[in-house]
Structure 1
């Protein structure tokens, strides 16, 4: 099988974009999330869907920022860290999709094991750069384990 070097460049750019996303939403008491940079990662209003509940929680980037800032200002959220631990990215022309397995924690304590989840992310190449169009995520829980094929 021949590897298209342009595809490798695309995947490297998508890797960086995904890392920037996780960095933007992570925060602690001394450093707020990087919300000013978050919107720049998305095409248009963006679409973020938390599918962990009976009814999906549907956000634009702006409404996601507002919801999280409200929790921070109310003192309900003082720490959040999320990082990618495995991925699979497919690129076709100016579109891409990524299965991004992540781990996350609401506490800075390192003794507790971090929880995990899966984020399905769609990208487009527009205006000379890769941008996130949408993402949908679900966290791992009892009875719902991340497939081993996602962790390779």
Structure 2
């Protein structure tokens, strides 16, 4: 029997792993266990998508931290829909994020499409592609239930 809670936990671990503050670096060392192979991450917020492997994503974020361009980032899932067929799954993960610890301002939102496979007795992330909400692209109400 498929256990969606394992995919829930995997997704939560991913978001927790990429979040950081000045006191706590991202938990990148744990991310490798979540991904199958090199992983594929695509930021589709720009005219041309930015294509990462897990390793190149980690390097890009660490460069921003080390250069002093990033000292805080938090991202968390606020709504999800997961579909499973056999040993594959896809999750529509609506997230909110902030680059500042200020809790008063509203956090920005976006949608992450995450693909998983079940292999060697566990679920792993194969790929993900995301886009942030803008005036042009609003998150569908059906995603927020």
Is 2:107 the counterpart of 1:114? yes
Q: From the CA coordinates, give the structure whose radius of gyration is larger.
A: 1
Partner of 2:73 in structure 1?
80
Q: Distance in 2 between matches of 1:41 and 1:106?
A: 24
Query: Over residues 117-139 of structure 1, what are the superposed CA-to-partner deviations in whole Å (9 max), with x where a residue is unaligned?
Result: 00000000012100000000000
Structure 1: gaps (5+ residues) = 1-5
Runs of 4+, deviation exceeding 4 Å? none
**Which of 45, 49, 66 is residue 42 of structure 2 equivalent to?**
49
Superposition deviation, residue 19 in structure 1? 0.1
2:22 aligned to 17, 29, 46, which one?
A: 29
The yes-or-no answer on 1:133 pairing with 2:126 is yes
- The DSSP-based 3-state class of the residue aligned with 1:144 is coil
Aligned partners of 1:32, 1:46: CA distance in 2, in Å? 21
Output aligned runs, 1:62-77, within 5 Å: 62-77=55-70
Superposition TM-score, scaled by structure 2 size: 0.99
Count of aligned positions: 145
Which runs of 5 or more residues in structure 2 are unaligned?
none
User: In structure 2, how many angstroms separate the alpha carbons of the residues matched to 1:15 and 1:143?
Assistant: 29
After TM superposition, the score normalised by the length of structure 1 is: 0.94
* C-alpha deviation, 1:143, in angstroms: 1.7
Confirm whether residue 148 of structure 1 aligns to residue 137 of structure 2: no
Q: Distance in 2 between matches of 1:40 and 1:14?
A: 13
Q: Secondary structure at the match of 2:60?
A: helix
